[in-house]
Chain A
Amino acid sequence: MHKTSVEISGMGHSMKRKEDSRFLQGRGNYVDDVNLPHMVYGHMVRSPYAHAKLKSINTEAAKKLPGVLAIITGEDLAKANLAWMPTLFFDKQMVLATGKVLFQAQEVAFVVAEDRYTAADAAELVEVEYEELPVLVDPHKAMDADAPILRDDREEKSNHIFHWEVGDKQATDKAFTESAVNAKVHAVFQRCHPAPLETCGCVADYNNATERLTIYLTSQAPHAHRTLFSIVGGIPEQNIRVVSPDIGGGFGNKVPIYPGYVCAVVASLTLGVPVKWIETRSENLQSTGFARDYHMTAELAADKTGKIKAMRVKTLADHGAFNAAAQPTKFPAGLFSVCTGSYDYPAAFCEVDGVYTNKAPGGIAYRCSFRITEAAYLIERAVDVLALDLKMDPAELRRKNYIQPAQFPYKTPLGWTYDSGKYEGALDKALGMVGYKEIRKEQEEKRKKGELMGIGISSFTEAVGAGPAHTFDIAGIKMFDSAEIRIHPTGKAICRMGTKSQGQGHETTYAQIVAQELGIPAKDVIIEEGDTDTAPYGLGTYASRSTPTSGAATAIAARKIREKAKKIAAFLLEASEEDLEWEPGKFFVKGAPGKAKTIQEIAFAAYTNIPPGLEAGLEAVNYYDPPNLTFPFGTYICVVDIDKGTGEIKVRRFIAVDDCGNVINPMIVEGQIHGGLTEGLAIAFMQLIDYDENGNVSGGSFMDYLIPTAVETPHWETGLTCTPSPHHPFGAKGVGESPNVGSPAAFVNAVVDALSHLGVKHIDMPITPWKVWNILKEKGITG
Chain B
Amino acid sequence: MIPPAFEYLRPKTLPEAVGLLQQHGEDAKILSGGQSLIPMMKLRLARPSHLIDINRIAGLSYIREDGGFLKIGGLTREAELEASELIRTKYPLLLDTARVIADPQVRNLATVGGNLAHGDPANDHPATMLALGAQIVATGAKGERVIAIDDFFVSLFTTSLDHGEILTEIRIPIPPAKSGGAYFKLERKVGDFATAAVAVQLTLDGPGAVQKVGIGLTNVGGTPIRAKRAEEALRGKKLDAATIGAAAQAAADAAQPSSDLRGPAAYKTGLIKELTKRALARAAERAGK
Contacts and interface: CB of A to CB of B under 8 A. Distances in A.
Contact of A711 (B2, B190, B263): B190
A648 interface: yes
Interface stretch (A4-12, A22-30, A768-776): A768-776
Given A124-B44, A712-B190, A645 B2 contact: no
A514 B158 CA distance: 66
Given A124-B44, A282-B1, 17 more contacts: A117-B2, A120-B1, A645-B274, A646-B274, A646-B275, A703-B192, A704-B261, A706-B189, A709-B190, A709-B191, A711-B189, A712-B190, A769-B195, A769-B267, A773-B271, A774-B266, A777-B266
- The 3 A-B pairs of least Cβ separation, nearest first, read A770-B263, A120-B2, A645-B274
Interface secondary structure of A, over-half rule = loop
B259 to A, nearest CB: 10
B270 A777 contact: yes
A770 B267 contact: yes
A146 B195 CA distance: 38
B204 to A, nearest CB: 24
A686 B262 CA distance: 10
A768 B263 contact: yes
- Number of contact residues on B: which range applies? 20 to 34
Interface in A630-667: 645-648
B169 to A, nearest CB: 31
Interface in A702-741: 703-704, 706-709, 711-712
B15 interface: no
Contacts of B188: 686, 706, 768
B4 interface: yes
A706 B191 CA distance: 10
Given A645-B274, A769-B186, A121 B4 contact: yes
Interface in B247-289: 261-264, 266-267, 270-271, 273-275, 277-278
B263 A769 contact: yes
A509 B109 CA distance: 42
Contacts of A782: 270, 274
A680 to B, nearest CB: 16
Contact of B189 (A709, A770, A783): A709
A706 B192 CA distance: 9
Contacts of B263: 768-770, 773
6 contacts: A120-B2, A646-B271, A709-B190, A711-B189, A768-B188, A770-B195
Most B-side CB within 10 Å, residue of A645, A708, A769, A770: A770
B193 to A, nearest CB: 9
B240 to A, nearest CB: 17
A698 B261 contact: yes
A425 interface: no
A676 B102 CA distance: 26
Contact of B1 (A121, A280, A703, A768): A280
A709 B104 CA distance: 12
Contacts of A120: 1-2
Identify which of B2, B264, B274, B275 gathers the most chain A CB atoms within 10 Å of its CB: B2
A307 interface: no
Interface string B27-63: 0000000000000000010000000000000000000
A775 to B, nearest CB: 11
Nearest to B184: A646
Contacts of B195: 769-770
A282 B45 CA distance: 15
A749 B17 CA distance: 59
Contacts of B189: 686, 706-709, 711-712
A116 interface: yes
Contacts of A704: 261
Contacts of B1: 120, 280, 282
A505 interface: no
A585 interface: no
Contacts of B103: 709
A675 interface: no
Interface string B1-40: 1101100000000000000000000000000000000000
B55 to A, nearest CB: 23
Interface in B166-212: 186, 188-192, 195
Interface of A: 116-117, 120-121, 124, 280, 282, 645-648, 686, 690, 698-699, 703-704, 706-709, 711-712, 768-770, 773-774, 777, 782-783
Given A645-B278, A699-B261, A774 B267 contact: yes
Contacts of B275: 646
A648 B2 contact: no
Contacts of A698: 261
A704 B187 CA distance: 12
Nearest to A710: B190
Contacts of B191: 709
A782 B266 CA distance: 13
Given A686-B189, A706-B192, A783 B264 contact: no
A301 B186 CA distance: 42
A690 B271 CA distance: 24
Contact of B186 (A282, A646, A709): A646
A120 to B, nearest CB: 4
A773 B2 contact: no
A706 B195 CA distance: 14
A43 to B, nearest CB: 8
Nearest to B2: A120
A647 to B, nearest CB: 8
A783 B273 contact: yes
Contacts of A648: 186
B264 A770 contact: yes
A704 B188 CA distance: 9
Interface in B84-126: 103
Contacts of B186: 646, 648, 769
A773 to B, nearest CB: 5
Contacts of A646: 186, 271, 274-275
A117 B5 CA distance: 9
Nearest to B191: A709
Given A646-B274, A686-B189, A709-B190, A773 B267 contact: yes
A768 B186 CA distance: 12
A699 B261 CA distance: 9
Contacts of A686: 188-189
Nearest to A645: B274
A704 B275 CA distance: 23
B77 to A, nearest CB: 21
Nearest to B277: A645
A121 B273 contact: no
Nearest to A713: B189
A703 B45 CA distance: 15
B90 to A, nearest CB: 27
A124 B261 CA distance: 28
Nearest to A281: B1
A661 B160 CA distance: 67
A266 B5 CA distance: 29
B241 to A, nearest CB: 12
Given A124-B44, A645-B274, A706-B188, A116 B264 contact: no
A711 B186 CA distance: 14
Contacts of A645: 274, 277-278
B67 to A, nearest CB: 39
A646 B271 CA distance: 6
A512 to B, nearest CB: 37
A698 B263 CA distance: 13
Contacts of B5: 121
A117 B275 CA distance: 45
Contacts of B273: 783
Contacts of A121: 2, 4-5
A685 to B, nearest CB: 9
B198 to A, nearest CB: 12
Contacts of B190: 709, 711-712
Contacts of A690: 261
Of A646, A647, A648, A773, which is in contact with the most chain B CB atoms at under 10 Å from its CB?
Answer: A646
